[in-house]
Structure 1
Amino acid sequence: MSSTTVRRKSNTFYVILIAGAAALGGFLFGFDTAVINGAVLSLAKAFNTSSWVTGLAVSLALLGSAVGAFFAGQIADRYGRVKAMVVASVLFTISAIGSGMAFTIWDFIFWRVLGGIGIGVASVIAPAYIAECSPTHLRGRLGSLQQLAIVVGIFVALLSDYFIATSAGSADSPFLFGVAAWRWMFWTAVPPAVFYGMVALTIPESPRYLVAKGRESEAVNVLTKILGGDVLPKIEEIRQTVLRERQPKFSDLLSRSGGLLPIVWIGIGLSVLQQFVGINVIFYYSSVLWRAVGFSEKDSLSITVITGAVNIITTLIAIAFVDKFGRKPLLIIGSIGMTLTLGTMAYIFGNAPLDAAGNPSLAGSAGTVALIAANLYVFCFGFSWGPIVWVLLGEMFNNKIRAAALSVAAAIQWVANFLISTTFPPILQYFGLGSAYGLYTIAAATSFFFILFFIKETKGIELEDM
């Protein structure tokens, strides 16, 4: 094996390590948003809250995330990508401790919003940092690490909820040291939150940030470890794109006529459609969904864990193929698959007879078809819109506007997530599951035309050439 091959292998290994460390923020983001799944009903009981206050307890963290995402770009450009990760880690840790110790629903909401701000910061910093530190030929695969970390975080949260609830007997029962099981569900986030902060302190700063701050000798060291060989031409290229500009401002996102630049609108469109296809309804309310169709609580939790596992497998498929097939083909196939599977679910739930409680009861093969369609839907989302949107958001903006544009797109994504999560219970109550899935089917069909007409392929293009 030649020394060049050995060096390239060690460079690749190093890049995977630092990208993986940055993606830990994604793990916490998935964990933190899904951990509440097992605690929702116990929270409502413990604090005796109405359904809309319980809904707010679940979804207000998402608005905190929108705030965190919106300001993350400014924090990252002023203080660096690594310091922003440390801030996110501190917010996560405080939020996890506070949520588990909550005395009333209102201080619980406060701790959740604080954690939400941390999630928002991490959700912007990870894709930006990974895109800025990855060699072009690996960028798509490494960018998908963010989504892989998110889905692993969701899976681990659902698994730990399941383990704690079954060990204690139920989420309301006392668990270790006589403390209610649902409180422990939140405390399980403390070790990974602290670990994220410690790991962030060991990774190098982004070379593009270092050049922008005039710290070029440090940037040379980092790029040599990432790319190997002579990196001075690359430094010069970054200097040209970065120093041609001043500090990015949100006003940079406006066109001459005063509206947002078309590319920013496209980023917003991707973010909104990724949420409007209803993926988080499956993860926040899946146990409610399967119980409505007649499964027991334990079986519903088991199905949710299986769905989480399907999500991980399909994200791995995306990582394998994103740099081979490109971003656009995977998104188009995903849109077609989601439209068909959501349409099937909308049809089945819309035509199912209702039981005494007004829930659709799926007799015979209808229940099996719905279950298969739901998991196929997660499969189609998992290899396309889940990871690829994050990859595109990390790379589709030029250096001048990347941090600011990513902040806006990610903030809008959280607002869209908030809208979908908050509207699902009332849609379910007043219009039924069929209508809810009908709306998500329309969004999936829209996503197909959006990709066809507005998205350009970014595979293999240097960030400096975007």
Structure 2
Amino acid sequence: MESTKFNLGYMIFLSFVAAIGGLLFGYDTAVISGTISQVTDQFQLDALQQGWYVGCALIGSICGVMFAGMLSDRLGRKWVMIIAALLFSISGIWCAASSDFNHLIAARILGGIAIGVVSIVSPLYISEVAAAQYRGRLVSLYQVAVTVGFLGAYIANFYLLSFSQSGFESNIEWINKIFISEVWRSMLGMESVPAIIFLITIFFIPESPRWLIVVQRENQAQKVLQNIYLTTSEAQLQIEQTKAILANEHQSSWSMLWQPGILKAVIIGVCIAMLGQFMGVNAVLYYGPSIFEDAGLSGGDSLFYQILIGTVNMVTGVLALLIIDKIGRKKLIYYGVSGMIISLIAIGIYFLAGEKVGLSNTYLLLFFLAYIFFCAGSISAVIFVLLSEMYPTKIRGLAMSVAGLSLWIGTYLIGQLTPWMLETLTPGGTFFLFAFMCLPYMLIVWKLMPETAGKTLEEIELFWTGQKCKS
């Protein structure tokens, strides 16, 4: 493999296009934080309705992952990404034009379905067009795009709100409504711009070569692989390797999930996907402004702090992308989760005793930034890489849907439970709980996961089915 030549530029292009789905994922997920108070005031929402406004997109995401894998196995990765891009585009425009709260909820659910779909299909596509030596970095590009989407949402919210308060007025009524008097509409609707770009660019990329092999369209697969590996002989070798694995997979997708080795991989994927949500990252990204305000900051300062968190999240994701294939997935998790535990304990101590010993809010910001640094450089960077490369070719879409479903259920639960935990357990107790939840995650990765860096997808599959690759 070391002497094999690759068209790295082409692989980066394919991965970049698919990763735009991650940017939309991040934007759609994070933009809600800047609109809650405005939507609550405009539609006179009670506490339950406010929770439904925040959580409805996550319900949509759960629905999206339930069919994304099976649909991608049936229609192909490319066409399912096209469907997601259409849903994002419609959702953004519909949010901006919503006539009442029910229409807004429906539009948010539609966007949530698209989030669920791209969370499965985009990293899956990247893993299937990337050579083993570059797969970790290229799949991590998707997670970096998610962090860019988060940061983009925070910045858009900040500047659109500032613009709405600048005193500008237009003679065009709908512009005033979307950008001035009801600025939440432009915050939510801005998503349609990258969504349309995503929709257009997908038509310039080919279908996944591994999916083409599965559906016996080898001539098309060979053309794609020749563009990636540059030679006909190497493209044919990749086809033969994939076919050799598929030849041993005679069972249906659902029945294959119950094979001992494959079932173990699916259970591990479910565990790391769900546990990762209970280690605090989404609580910080969703409720950061509220947490900072509870610590005594003004609303403006809390939004600025959230932009800093989003910046560190993005920059660290880029650093992780550069080193994930060199250091390996497991070492990144060991170092990063250890740092997360220390940072979470420090945050908990601050909330318990910070004021008593005279610590300023600057210390709280530093602890949060340290936490985001370690998290973005480890579990956030690794999760989609692992889920996209753990499973056999024939059932990869279905197995990723199972793991992705657990991820989104965990995300929904933490989104709903965080306000209750902050109130019931206190902020200090909540962050101590997040620190404790890091321990089983670390144990699973240490004892049960192979190191997948540098391994082909076929070699990883052989690990789970009995012939272990070196870990």
Shorter-chain TM-score: what band?
over 0.9
- The 5-angstrom pairing of residues 382-397 of structure 1 reads 382-397=376-391
* 2:469 equivalent in structure 1: none
Aligned residue identity for 1:276: F
Shift of 1:295: 1.4
Aligned residue identity for 1:295: L
Tell me the secondary structure at the aligned position of residue 393 of structure 2.
coil
Pick the aligned partner of 2:239 from 232, 235, 239. 235
Measured in 2, the distance between the counterparts of 1:405 and 1:341 equals: 33
Shift of 1:363: 7.4
Aligned residue identity for 1:300: S
Measured in 1, the distance between the counterparts of 2:199 and 2:254 equals: 28
Tell me the secondary structure at the aligned position of residue 381 of structure 1.
helix
CA contact (8 A) 2:214 2:394 kept: no
* 2:425 equivalent in structure 1: 431
- Structure 1 residues 371 and 176, CA, compared in 2 at 3 Å: closer, same or farther? same
Query: For each residue in 1:378-399, what CA deviation from the matched residue of structure 2 results, as whole angstroms up to 9, or x when unmatched?
Result: 0000110001111111111122
**Residue 144 (structure 2) pairs with residue 144 (structure 1):** no
Measured in 1, the distance between the counterparts of 2:254 and 2:407 equals: 17
- The 5-angstrom pairing of residues 184-195 of structure 1 reads 184-195=186-197
TM-score using structure 1 length: 0.92
Pick the aligned partner of 2:87 from 88, 91, 115. 91
Shift of 1:362: 7.8
Query: For each residue in 1:303-361, what CA deviation from the matched residue of structure 2 results, as whole angstroms up to 9, or x when unmatched?
Result: 10111010111111111111111100000111111111001111221335xxxxxxxx6
* 1:403 equivalent in structure 2: 397
- The 5-angstrom pairing of residues 114-193 of structure 1 reads 114-169=110-165, 176-179=175-178, 180-193=182-195
* 1:76 equivalent in structure 2: 72
- Structure 1 residues 35 and 119, CA, compared in 2 at 3 Å: closer, same or farther? same
Aligned residue identity for 2:220: E
**Residue 66 (structure 2) pairs with residue 67 (structure 1):** no
Shift of 1:43: 0.8
CA contact (8 A) 2:21 2:118 kept: yes
Tell me the secondary structure at the aligned position of residue 49 of structure 1.
coil
Query: For each residue in 1:423-442, what CA deviation from the matched residue of structure 2 results, as whole angstroms up to 9, or x when unmatched?
Result: 11122223321121121111
**Residue 264 (structure 2) pairs with residue 265 (structure 1):** no
Tell me the secondary structure at the aligned position of residue 261 of structure 1.
helix
Query: For each residue in 1:26-83, what CA deviation from the matched residue of structure 2 results, as whole angstroms up to 9, or x when unmatched?
Result: 1100000001111011011111011221112111211211111121111111111110
* 1:451 equivalent in structure 2: 445
How many pairs does the alignment contain? Answer: 450
**Residue 331 (structure 2) pairs with residue 332 (structure 1):** no
Tell me the secondary structure at the aligned position of residue 270 of structure 1.
helix
Measured in 1, the distance between the counterparts of 2:255 and 2:38 equals: 45
Measured in 2, the distance between the counterparts of 1:291 and 1:385 equals: 27
Shift of 1:291: 1.2
Aligned residue identity for 1:273: L
- The 5-angstrom pairing of residues 206-285 of structure 1 reads 206-229=208-231, 230=233, 231-245=235-249, 249-255=253-259, 261-285=263-287
Aligned residue identity for 2:420: P
Aligned residue identity for 1:232: Q
Measured in 2, the distance between the counterparts of 1:248 and 1:185 equals: 44
Measured in 1, the distance between the counterparts of 2:65 and 2:411 equals: 13
Measured in 1, the distance between the counterparts of 2:333 and 2:31 equals: 28
Measured in 2, the distance between the counterparts of 1:429 and 1:191 equals: 38
Query: For each residue in 1:221-270, what CA deviation from the matched residue of structure 2 results, as whole angstroms up to 9, or x when unmatched?
Result: 100001112221211111222354358533321246xx981111110111
CA contact (8 A) 1:138 1:323 kept: yes
Measured in 2, the distance between the counterparts of 1:225 and 1:362 equals: 63
Measured in 1, the distance between the counterparts of 2:139 and 2:115 equals: 17
* 2:42 equivalent in structure 1: 46
* 2:465 equivalent in structure 1: none
* 1:356 equivalent in structure 2: none
Aligned residue identity for 2:226: T
CA contact (8 A) 1:30 1:149 kept: yes
- Structure 1 residues 134 and 260, CA, compared in 2 at 3 Å: closer, same or farther? closer
- Structure 1 residues 240 and 301, CA, compared in 2 at 3 Å: closer, same or farther? same
Query: For each residue in 1:115-143, what CA deviation from the matched residue of structure 2 results, as whole angstroms up to 9, or x when unmatched?
Result: 11111111100111111100111001001
Measured in 1, the distance between the counterparts of 2:386 and 2:131 equals: 15
CA contact (8 A) 2:81 2:202 kept: yes
CA contact (8 A) 2:305 2:365 kept: no
Measured in 1, the distance between the counterparts of 2:370 and 2:98 equals: 38
Measured in 1, the distance between the counterparts of 2:454 and 2:424 equals: 48
- Structure 1 residues 41 and 27, CA, compared in 2 at 3 Å: closer, same or farther? same
Query: For each residue in 1:432-463, what CA deviation from the matched residue of structure 2 results, as whole angstroms up to 9, or x when unmatched?
Result: 21121121111123322222212210011111
Shift of 1:8: 4.6
**Residue 11 (structure 2) pairs with residue 15 (structure 1):** yes
Measured in 2, the distance between the counterparts of 1:407 and 1:60 equals: 19
- Structure 1 residues 216 and 29, CA, compared in 2 at 3 Å: closer, same or farther? same
> Aligned-residue CA RMSD in angstroms?
2.2
TM-score using structure 2 length: 0.91
- Structure 1 residues 54 and 211, CA, compared in 2 at 3 Å: closer, same or farther? same
CA contact (8 A) 1:211 1:242 kept: no
**Residue 33 (structure 2) pairs with residue 37 (structure 1):** yes
- Structure 1 residues 74 and 433, CA, compared in 2 at 3 Å: closer, same or farther? same
Aligned residue identity for 1:442: F
User: Any gaps of 5 or more consecutive residues in structure 2?
Assistant: 461-471
Pick the aligned partner of 1:58 from 38, 54, 61. 54
Aligned residue identity for 2:454: G
Tell me the secondary structure at the aligned position of residue 457 of structure 1.
coil
CA contact (8 A) 2:336 2:379 kept: yes
Aligned residue identity for 1:141: R
Measured in 2, the distance between the counterparts of 1:247 and 1:351 equals: 58
Measured in 1, the distance between the counterparts of 2:245 and 2:431 equals: 45
CA contact (8 A) 1:59 1:422 kept: yes
Identity %: 34
